[in-house]
Amino acid sequence: MSELGEFLRARRELVLPTERGLPDSGRRRVRGLRREEVAMLAGISAEYYIRLERGRDRHPSMQVIQALAGVLDLDADSVAHLAALAAPRPRPPAAATDEVERVAPGATQLLAAMPDTPVIVLGRFLDVLAHTPAAEILYGRPPTGTNNLRTVFLDPAARAQFPDWDDVAAECVAAVRASSVDASEHPRLIALVGELSLKSADFRRLWARHEVRPKAGGRKRMVSPAVGEVPHRWETFAVTGAPGQLVVASFPLLDDPASVIAFERIAQLTRERAARAAGDRP
């Protein structure tokens, strides 16, 4: 089955028949819509839809995509993802899939200019490529060299570190889905998904849902070993010249005194650590 077919099947299984005005006989092999029902509601033939799911036809028109999006209740990000899956894509040269992600010089300069702010640079598969000193205080360790997916699903301490673990886990999986539409055969992605699928039932469940949500920003809570719980907002900025890389910066919630105090403490600890390091130099 193609990626397009996997996506369609996963999303139709999330739509209840009763949500589309269809009777639920209670004798269904899957919880959601049948293939024939999706085809009927989208105004296409059942034979054509079956070919799409089975990978025999991989390039539906935009009209068909929009019709399927309405039936499957896809949001704008998911529609864009579906369209990308349906678009013909040339296979990347082998050398491109073997390249190690490196932080763009501009991103390195940006991090150097804001040491007191927790900032990390993420690769397209959520590898942490660089971080500021303040990020090390927030995370309680140097995050560079780790992978956010592996941390969330395989680190026993992750559920304590992220009080809203379910939301964080779903966001991470959906972000990788969104960023890897043109990199399904990348060795790094294959190895990462394979490892997590073997070791984490939670990851297998979320990956199978095919939910798509580009990493954009929002509110989050983290527990820092040095500071305690840190409510904050995070924002992402695309790195020009490094497709898929993101600068992710964390800021205090100005309407939350506890958040403001936590960030002031992070900045203070960062400066104290820098002063100690400077004093140790000959």
For the segment 15-34, the average pLDDT, to the nearest whole number, is 80
Question: Tell me, what's the pLDDT at 265?
Answer: 96
- Is pLDDT above 80 for 226? yes
- Ranges of each domain in the chain: 3-86, 103-280
**Residue 71 CA neighbour count, 13 Å, CB half:** 27
Which pLDDT band holds residue 124 (cuts at 50, 70, 90)? Answer: confident
Integer Cα distance of 14 and 23 in angstroms: 16
Which single residue is written with the structure tokens 């990199």? 183
Contact status, residue 175 vs residue 75, Cβ threshold 8 Å: no
Question: Tell me, what's the pLDDT at 92?
Answer: 54
CA-wise closest residue to 172 among 145, 199, 203, 195: 203
Integer Cα distance of 18 and 190 in angstroms: 37
- Is pLDDT above 50 for 95? no
Beta bridge partners of 231: 221
* 18-27, 95-104, 119-128, 187-196: the lowest-pLDDT one: 95-104
Beta-carbon contacts of residue 49 (< 8 Å; ≥ 6 apart): 8, 35, 36, 38, 39, 42
Instruction: Give 280 or 131, the one with higher predicted confidence.
Output: 131
Kindly report, residue by residue over 51-60, the tens digit of the pLDDT. 998 888 878 8
Contact status, residue 117 vs residue 251, Cβ threshold 8 Å: yes
Q: Architecture of 103-280 per CATH?
A: 2-Layer Sandwich (3.30)
Which single residue is written with the structure tokens 């082998």? 94
Question: Tell me, what's the pLDDT at 94?
Answer: 47
H helical segments located in the chain: 3-12, 35-42, 46-53, 62-72, 76-86, 94-98, 105-113, 133-139, 148-154, 158-161, 165-179, 187-199, 201-208, 257-280
CA-wise closest residue to 124 among 91, 147, 107, 142: 147
- Is pLDDT above 70 for 133? yes
Contact status, residue 137 vs residue 226, Cβ threshold 8 Å: yes
- CATH superfamily to which 3-86 belongs: lambda repressor-like DNA-binding domains (1.10.260.40)
Instruction: Give 186 or 25, the one with higher predicted confidence.
Output: 186
Question: Tell me, what's the pLDDT at 106?
Answer: 84
The amino acid that residue 80 corresponds to is A
